[in-house]
Amino acid sequence: MVTFKNFLPKLYSFFLILFMIGTMGCYTRPKKSGILDFMNISNFVSYLTGTAFPLNVQVNGLTNSGTLVVELASTGEQLTFSAAGTDSFSGYYDPNIIYTLNIITQPATLPTQTCIISNPNLNLTFANTTFVINCAENWYKANVTVTGIDSTNTTNLEIYNNGTDLKTLSANGTVNFDVGDGLGYAITTGAVPTVPSTHICQVVTAPSSGTIAGADVNLEISCLSLMKTSVPAAGAFFPSTKAMVFTFSGPVTGCSLDATAGGPPYSAGTASGSPVVTYVGNTARVAPSTLPWSFGALTFPLNVVFILTGCKDSVAFANAGATISLNVKMMEGDVYFISDTSGNDSNSCTDPSDSCKTIQTGVSQCSSSSICTVFVEGGNYIISGSVSPISLTSTGGVRLLGSFDSTFSTQDMTLAGTPSRIIDNRTVAQCPGAMLSSNECAPITITASLMAGDSTKAHVVQGFSIFADETKANAFGIRFINGDANSYAYVFGNYISGGEGGLGVENSTGTRGGIYLLSSRSNNQIDTNVIKGGFGASNSTAVYSTDSNVYLLRNRISGDKAVNDSHSVLLANWMDSLVAIVNNTMNFRQYSDASVTSKFTYGIRNEENAVLIKHYIAGNTIYSGGATVGSNYGIFMTGVATNAQMANNIVQAPGSNGVCASFNTIPSASAIFRGNNLDCSAGKNVTVGATNYAYYCSDGTFNSFSLLCLVGNTFLDATRGNQNFIDTPSFNGYPALQPWLALSPANGGPCNIAFGGVETSAYLNSFDPIYKLDAVIGAPATRTTSSGGTTPSGSAGYSIGAFELDDSGCAP
């Protein structure tokens, strides 16, 4: 039955069909739209009546003009795509049937692409007429793992893929690069980490480049860094008793020691015992078969170059054979380090990074019988409270060297550097004293004994500013006590004072000064120092020696302001002692400052009661001034008839109370007093008792007129050969070869000290520039002629004594 309700749709369809038939001639069939084929009337009619539908294919993500071919399984019809889009199979298809779509050809592109049909089996309905294909490029990872970066590093390792894609790491880890399938990768390194040292980093996976082939690739970069060595810096000091250890950021192998270099500097390969490289963990250890290091006839300290080649990490690639070269100053025996700023007395003292804080702690590490060196960083070292004074007593010898930088590679004693200052500031109870009197203090005490004539062993103090405690009655900077004639002590290149001076806390009793020697029979060489007495003491004495062997060479020595007596050098010998006072300047304080006064002033004061005592006093510049009650004495000799040999000194004692030389008793016939330049015109030149003489003759007599002497001081022959010592002294001071006694001219005698006191630049440059300022009386000068008018051969430096050397038998 036809009702109005079902009649209207059928009527609408009837008229629509009529419209389409009537207009067929007006259309040309277009290409398939992908949705409807309006020209296929039968199919369209089927579509309108719900009996047939189109089949569409939608492609997503297809790039790079890739060609994708798909096929409808039921008809074999194919569609081709070169880009993302939608297309339809021809005709219309019955609904409620499952249609299958297959991919015939995947797109061939770089990177490769993979297309996947999300619904390959389509149940065709009005709402479900489209196959959906999703295409995507294939990307994989180039994973790069980095090992061997030091744990303390803070700088980046640059890792590149194909030279442009950059990743960075500052610690061990992994970075990833995205690389398309079929595309190439090439992993390289750029900048490398630099903390704590420059790393050597290398891609150790072979090959380090290639083409991605459907999978991730894994590569490794291995780094190797030299973290530290047995010394903190190139040129630093190193003990001969230890192996040289190179510590790397990871396990190492393959190192070779270069043993081909000759010296100097000397390769470690020239050492005795065939040094080899061994490995423990991350370290390469270089040592001879038996320690300590030895270099045959070569002596320490010695420049040694350690050269390692071919060190490789655990995968045997990193470092690629690069050379590691390190120069050290190898010291005989053990080495210890002291730092006031970073040290701790609980440390081992064996490494700058493990330094101790107080000097005596480092000294105490030294073996009782082996050579030992203690390096001290610049800074203030105050002896007070629980801090022990410094005692050098071992039989092997302690070399105490100060004023180093924080790396212990450079020693700087100039005004631009930071000196190692040792200041004594103990309580009265800590300085009871029994040698001079009460309250006796010295921050450094030296006893040189049982060294058995081995001149390589010596107690050495060098590179310090040392201050006695000026609040104590009898305080000195350095004290020498006891010792034997076959042992050695050497004090070189220091500033040593009997107090800081001028602080208003000076003790005005007792004897205070720079250096005190008591019954020290060792060979005590005191060379190229500034030594001052104690400001404000009852007796200000720069150097005080009692019954001791002492060799004072090339020093600037001065007493200071005193209540009673001021001495540059005070000698009190009651037994046979060997004393050499050569090429020094004396009393520069009085010379440069008129306020430095005392009742009596002495350059050299000698008290002796044994005729066998040997005194050699030559080439000195001696000034004596500032006496307010008594005399200004240049040289004062009291006691028995002296055997002293005094030659080529310049002595100035201004004023009517000036006495150039005073003898309590006429010297013995073996004594010498000639070739001296005496400037005491307002006072007295030479006195014996109360008698003033102008000359001392070679026959051992004094005269007022030169004509009474067959050979007088004022008559010098052309070569002055007869002005040398008549008895060449035999000194055993440190070092073994004394440069001040090394020359033996044809006419005999140690000419380089007997005449001129000429300081070569090598000596002067080894100490501070203050040494040059008052090298001669008056304005500093370099002499170009001697008193005889000829040009001396040794005048490269400053003349300290009365005459310069012009003997052709002596080399400059």
Residue position matching structure tokens 């990193």: 318
Which residues are 336's β-sheet partners? 374
The more confident residue out of 649 and 362 is: 362
User: Is residue 798 predicted with pLDDT exceeding 60?
Assistant: no
Cα 781 from Cα 495, distance rounded (Å): 23
CA 163-164-168 angle, 5° bins: 95
CA dihedral over 236, 238, 244, 247, signed as positive or negative: negative
Tokens at 125, concatenated = 């309905």
Residue 467 has pLDDT above 90, yes or no: yes
Asked if 200 contacts 192 with a C-beta cutoff of 8 angstroms, the reply is yes
DSSP-assigned beta bridge partners for residue 523: 488
Per-residue pLDDT band at 601 (split at 50, 70, 90) = very high
Predicted confidence band at 85 (pLDDT cuts at 50, 70, 90)? very high
The answer to whether 185 touches 139, Cβ cutoff 8 Å, is: no
Distances (CA, A) of 669 to 617, 666, 701: 17, 9, 8
Residue 351 has pLDDT above 60, yes or no: yes
pLDDT at 717 over 70: no
C-alpha distances in angstroms, 537 versus 511, 517, 571? 6, 18, 18
CATH of domain 139-224: 2.60.40
For 399, other C-beta atoms within 10 Å of its C-beta total 24
β-partners of residue 229 are 246
- Are 184 and 140 a contacting pair, CB within 8 Å? no
Of 143 and 812, more confident: 143
Residue of 762, 753, 758, 689 lying closest to 725 (CA atoms): 753
57 vs 10 pLDDT, higher one? 57
pLDDT tens by residue, 307-323 = 888 887 765 454 455 56
Q: Picking from 330-339, 410-419, 471-480, which range would have the lowest pLDDT averaged per residue?
A: 410-419
Would you tell me how many other CB atoms lie within 10 Å of the CB of residue 138? 15
Of the ranges 358-367, 416-425, 712-721, the best mean pLDDT one: 358-367
Gyration radius from the chain CA atoms:
49
* Predicted confidence (pLDDT) at residue 202 exceeds the cutoff of 90: no
Q: Round to whole Å and give the CA distance between 274 and 286.
A: 10
Residue 53 has a pLDDT of 92
Q: How far apart are CA 31 and CA 747, in angstroms?
A: 129
| Cα angle value 770/647/767 (rounded, 5°) | 20
- Taking Cα atoms as reference points, which of 554, 652, 555, 552 lies closest to residue 601? 652
The answer to whether residue 70 scores a pLDDT higher than 90 is yes
Structure token pair of residue 724: 């040398």
Specify whether the CB–CB gap between 402 and 376 falls below 8 A: yes
Helices (H) and strands (E) in the chain, counts: 7, 61
- Please tell me the least confidently modeled range out of 80-94, 213-227, 511-525, 658-672: 658-672
User: Diameter of the chain by CA atoms?
Assistant: 180
Query: Does the structure show a pLDDT above 90 at 652?
Result: no
What is the reported pLDDT for 443? 95
Q: HEC states along 229-262?
A: ECCCCCCCEEECCCCEEEEECCCEECCEECCCCC
**HEC readout, 491-544:** EECCEEECCCCCCCCCCCCCEEEEEEEECCCCEEEEECCEEECCCCEEEEEEEE
Alpha carbon of residue 627 to chain centroid: 49
Closest Cα to residue 650, out of 658, 665, 662, 660?
660
Q: Do 531 and 514 touch, CB atoms closer than 8 A?
A: yes
Is the pLDDT reported for residue 29 higher than 50?
no
pLDDT recorded at residue 523: 92
Q: Quick check: 33 pLDDT over 60? A: no
Residue 263 is predicted with a pLDDT of 53
Q: CA geometry: angle at 707 spanning 703 and 712, to 5°?
A: 70
CATH number of 29-137: 2.60.40
- Estimate the crossing angle of helix 4-22 against helix 41-48, to 10 degrees: 160
Question: Do the beta carbons of residue 233 and residue 133 sit within 8 Å?
Answer: no
Cα separation of 620 and 774, whole Å?
Answer: 12
Task: Extract the tokens encoding 192.
Answer: 């490398």
35-69 pLDDT, tens digit per residue, is 344 434 444 445 555 578 999 999 999 999 889 99
Residue 510 has pLDDT above 80, yes or no: yes
The tokens describing 472, both together, are 């104590």
Burial label, 115 (beta-carbon count in 10 A; 0-12, 13-18, 19+)? buried
Q: For the ranges 204-218, 405-419, 535-549, 656-670, which has the lowest average pLDDT?
A: 405-419
pLDDT averaged over every residue in the chain: 78
Buried-exposed string 199-236: b where 16+ CB fall within 10 A, e elsewhere: bbbbbbbeebbeebeeeebebbbbbbbbbbbbbbeeeb
Token digits for 153? 């590093």
Per residue, what are the HEC states of 54-94? CCEEEEECCCCCCCEEEEECCCCCEEEECCCEEEECCCCEC
Structure tokens at 353: 């990074």
Closest by CA to 421, choosing from 338, 502, 506, is: 338
What is the C-alpha separation between 547 and 393, in angstroms, rounded?
Answer: 19
Distance CA 647, CA 616 (A): 8
pLDDT in tens, 252-295: 888 888 766 545 567 888 888 889 899 988 899 999 989 999 88
725-775 pLDDT, tens digit per residue, is 333 333 333 333 333 333 233 333 333 333 333 333 333 333 333 333 323
Q: How open is the CA angle 732-337-257, to the nearest 5 degrees?
A: 90
Alpha-carbon distance 174 to 220, whole Å? 9
Tokens of 464: 């310090």
For position 468, what pLDDT does the model report? 93
**Is pLDDT above 90 for 137?**
yes
- Any idea which fold 230-331 has? Immunoglobulin-like (2.60.40)
At residue 15, the pLDDT reads: 52
pLDDT cut 90: percent of the chain above it: 42
- 491: tokens are 């004090």
pLDDT in tens, 615-637: 888 778 888 999 999 999 999 99
